[in-house]
C-alpha cells in the first residue's frame, strides 16, 4: 500500500491505466496498481481509452490486443459514472478556471471531480494538469515517483 493512501483508495487517471497496457509497464506503476484492493476509474477514462484504441486502429496497430485488454479492464475495474454531484463539482471548477483565464478541458476536470466526490485520491503522472483542483482539496499521488501532492 502506498504511503498516505486514503481510506477510499485511488482513482486511476487514464495515463496510469494506459501504462498498464504497455508490453513493459513501468515497474513502480505496475507494483502500485497490483497492491490496490480495487481498480477505480472514471467513465471518462473509458472514453479516452476507446479514443486511443480507435486512433491505433487507423494506424494499423495491434487493435485485437488492445480490445482484449480493454474488455478485461471493463470487467475488472470499478467504473464511476458521472453523477449529478460530480457534474456540479466539475462545473464549479471549470467556471473558476475560466474566470481565472485558464482553459482546461472537461475530461481532466470530470476525472478530478469524480475522485473528490467519491472520497478517493487521484493517481496520475500529470500532476500539473490537476494543480488547481489540488489547491481545492483534491489529493493526488504520482506512482512513477512515489510523490503525494495536496
Please report, for the domain that includes residue 50, its CATH number.
3.40.50.1010
Sheet containing strand 147-149, edge to edge, reads 78-80, 40-42, 10-12, 121-123, 140-142, 147-149
**Is the residue at 16 inside a domain?**
yes
**Is the residue at 4 inside a domain?**
no
pLDDT recorded at residue 25 = 96
Q: Quickly tell me which residue has 506512482 as its cell.
A: 143
Q: Quickly tell me which residue has 467556471 as its cell.
A: 95
Residue 61 has pLDDT above 90, yes or no: no
Residue 4 has pLDDT above 60, yes or no: no
**Is the residue at 2 inside a domain?**
no
Q: Taking the model in full, what pTM does it have?
A: 0.90
- How many separate domains does the chain show? 1
Residue 5 has pLDDT above 80, yes or no: no
**Is the residue at 75 inside a domain?**
yes
**Is the residue at 21 inside a domain?**
yes
The kind and range of the H/E element at 116 are helix 106-117
**Is the residue at 97 inside a domain?**
yes
| Boundaries of domain holding 27 | 10-149
**Is the residue at 92 inside a domain?**
yes
List pLDDT tens digits, range 86-143: 999 999 999 999 999 999 999 999 999 999 999 999 999 999 999 999 999 999 999 9
Q: What SS3 string covers 48-89?
A: HHHHHHHHHHHCCCCHHHHHHHHHHHHHHCEEECCCHHHHHH
Amino acid at each position: 500500500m502506498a504511503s498516505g493512501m486514503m481510506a477510499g483508495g485511488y482513482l486511476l487517471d487514464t495515463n496510469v491505466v494506459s501504462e498498464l497496457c504497455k508490453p513493459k509497464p513501468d515497474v513502480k506503476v505496475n507494483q502500485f496498481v497490483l497492491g490496490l484492493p480495487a481498480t477505480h476509474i472514471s467513465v471518462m477514462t473509458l472514453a479516452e481509452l476507446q479514443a486511443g484504441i480507435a486512433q491505433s486502429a487507423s494506424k494499423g496497430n495491434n487493435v485485437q490486443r488492445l480490445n482484449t485488454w480493454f474488455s478485461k479492464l471493463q470487467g475488472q475495474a470499478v467504473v464511476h459514472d458521472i453523477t449529478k454531484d460530480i457534474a456540479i463539482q466539475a462545473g464549479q471548477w471549470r467556471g473558476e478556471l475560466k474566470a481565472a483565464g485558464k482553459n482546461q478541458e472537461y475530461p481532466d476536470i470530470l476525472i478530478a471531480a469524480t475522485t473528490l466526490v467519491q472520497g478517493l485520491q487521484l493517481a496520475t503522472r500529470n500532476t500539473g494538469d490537476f494543480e488547481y483542483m489540488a489547491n481545492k482539496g483534491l489529493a493526488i499521488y504520482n506512482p512513477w515517483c512515489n510523490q503525494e501532492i495536496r
